[in-house]
Amino acid sequence: MQVGTQALRPNVFAKHLVARSHSTKKNRRTILAALSLTSMVDMFSLLVIFLLQTFSTSPELLVMTKGVQLPVASSGAEITDAPILAIAQDEIFLDQKSVGTVVDVLKDPKGLLAQLQVFRENWSKAHPNEKFKGEINLQAHKDVPSTVISQIMGVLPSQQYGSIQLIVTSGGS
């Protein structure tokens, strides 16, 4: 057998095939396929940041006031972002800050009214072109008598808080 100008014997033919495969490998381009993960990592980073910002401003992630065990309700609506007035069995809190005992606030609500006015003024400064909506969320311990709750709710409209939402836990039948 003869290839080109050389006569090939069986041993020489094997060497010819090896040499040919080496020469063709040198001429071939090596294709390196690599997956670039930079874009995907960037996308997931943005997704995580978006989710953290969304859930951090969600009013559904409501802070429970110490000493307040909410009543259970069978229906409800979404909570708006507003100051939280919490009535424990013996103390009243406005956004986690103590206003005083229930008895003292019912006797003289001036401290509560002053703090509500500060909240209203701060809201008006933060939203200069909007009318004050008068929204407030009310957390009341499930064992606090309804007469106490209604007396405190009666004080709120004097500071233009007319939209009162009662906060309850879901789970009723």
pLDDT tens per residue across all 173 residues of the chain: 555 555 555 567 777 777 776 665 555 555 555 667 788 888 899 999 988 887 765 555 455 666 676 666 666 677 777 888 888 888 888 888 888 888 888 888 888 888 888 888 888 888 888 888 888 888 888 888 888 888 888 888 888 888 888 777 777 55
**pLDDT computed for residue 47 by the predictor:** 92
Domain boundaries, the chain: 72-170
**pLDDT computed for residue 61 by the predictor:** 45
Q: Which two tokens stand for residue 85?
A: 């007035």
Integer Cα distance of 123 and 116 in angstroms: 11
Q: How distant, in Å, are the alpha carbons of 27, 51, 65, 99, 147 from that of 86?
A: 80, 29, 7, 10, 15
